[in-house]
Amino acid sequence: MPKKIRQLMAMLEKAGFTDRGGKGSHRNYLHPSGVKLTLSGRAGDDARRYQERDVEQALAEIRHDETQ
């Protein structure tokens, strides 16, 4: 069962990403380490697999940066 966009947003915000706004249903997230991610869709929409994968990769990248 796919996650909701709001779940991905919560994961990003919990990891330290800040919402930098965007146009329409697009939101730009920025982490203090410099990692950027654009997430599209309304909060109640089902996330597509590529969106879940992008969030997972961004979270893995900041974890990798923190260990170095």
Domain holding 36, by residue range, is 5-67
Work out whether strand 18-19 and strand 36-40 pair parallel, antiparallel, or are unpaired: unpaired
pLDDT at 1: 87
Give dist(CA 52, CA 68) in Å, integer: 25
The predicted-structure confidence for 25-42, as pLDDT tens digits, reads as follows 999 999 999 999 999 999
Residues in the chain: 68
Q: Looking at residue 16, which CATH number applies to its domain?
A: 3.30.920.30
pTM of the predicted structure, to 2 decimals: 0.91
Domain count, the chain: 1
